[in-house]
Amino acid sequence: MAVKKEAFGTMPNGCEISLYTVTNENGLSASFTDLGAIWVRMIVPDKDGAMDDILLGYDNGDGYLGNGPHMGSVVGRVANRTGNASFRLDGRLYTLGKNDGKNNLHSGPDYFDKRLWMGTASGEDTVAFFLESPDGDQGFPGNAKITVKYTLTAENTVEITYIFCCDNDTPMNLTNHAYFNLGGHSSGSVLNHKVQIYADMFTPSAADSIPTGEICMVEKTPMDFRTLKPIGAEIDSDYAQLLQAGGYDHNWCLNHIPGVYALAATAVEENSGRTMDVYTDRPGMQFYTANWLEGEKGKDGTVYGKRGAFCFETQMYPDAVNKPQFASSVIFAGRTYISKTGYHFYTGTQANGKRL
């Protein structure tokens, strides 16, 4: 089955916004738009075969032109936070927009998810989006060429491949900001979801959510998700990291070797039977529990509320460009950087290496 392309709205300048939908042989479908290279829908079955969309979002392009929470967005050049909205590179100080107190969040306010990317369908299972980011864009150096490829496999995995090249040294930390609710996008709180994160350590943050530079063990803290645990089990604990963030909004230091594509996290919603595994070659993952989502009108008139979704944002560690003790997020001039993250959906258990 070929990729389906349809109209999805209109940009303020009159350009048409398109939606691309990929459906696999198992009936799962994933939809993406050239507005921001956004992941719009993910239709998956529950344990009884009933299909539902497990991504929070909007009905059309007009909704995504707003999209304050960045639902499904490709975030860059540098996702997450940059302290003091600035960094030094090759002896020069670069200044970004201050859109999170004195800091920068997701390279805004001129976000990638408000731009029209060039979309191309490839075969029956892949959509690629391309964007040129000129020198000085968002405050970053160099002319960058960025491609984000989405593939829906026969094994029910959405693979996201990020390809980045720049003619100047520059920091880069692309991620996807999908908001998941495995019970269905309109099913409310995700506190009953169980989560496992394959990480022994995390990066604690200061009150402004900028990492302190420390790397701490999760053991004997509410940040310990080394075995499956309900999101709500300790989210309201009297623990400074959770109190200041209003819940989970932190970077976990994944156990696998950076650069090696490996299992990073699992989420389970037992009522529907849906499970999602996340694989990545990135060293970190931001686990966010939609602590600041409130009164957001989304798909089918649904009003999304606090903790009505969670995000698994694979990434370099936040503020890495200002933290020499963290793995560097700098991409060197002329080199092509390729990274992959996969979201695998299934019900039931694993048998002989095959998801049932």
Query: In this structure, how many other beta carbons lie within 10 angstroms of the beta carbon of residue 348?
Result: 10
CA proximity to 226, closest of 198, 267, 262: 198
Tell me, yes or no, if 177 is annotated catalytic.
Answer: yes
Identify whether 234 is a catalytic site residue.
no
Per the CB < 8 A criterion, the answer to whether 231 and 193 are in contact is yes
CA separation (Å) from 356 to 47, 151, 225, 346, 352?
Answer: 10, 20, 25, 7, 10
191: helix, coil or strand? coil
In the DSSP assignment, the letter for residue 119 is E
Q: Which of 70, 269, 313, 344 is catalytic?
A: 313
Question: What's the rounded Cα separation, in Å, for the pair 41 and 51?
Answer: 12
Which pairs with CB-CB distance under 8 Å and at least 24 residues apart come from 128-137? 129/32, 129/34, 129/37, 129/74, 131/37, 133/77, 135/167, 135/168, 137/77, 137/110
Please give the Cα distance from 179 to 310 (Å, whole number): 5
Contact criterion met (CB below 8 Å) for 316 and 329? yes
Q: Which of these is catalytic: 70, 177, 193, 344?
A: 177
Catalytic residue numbers read 177, 313
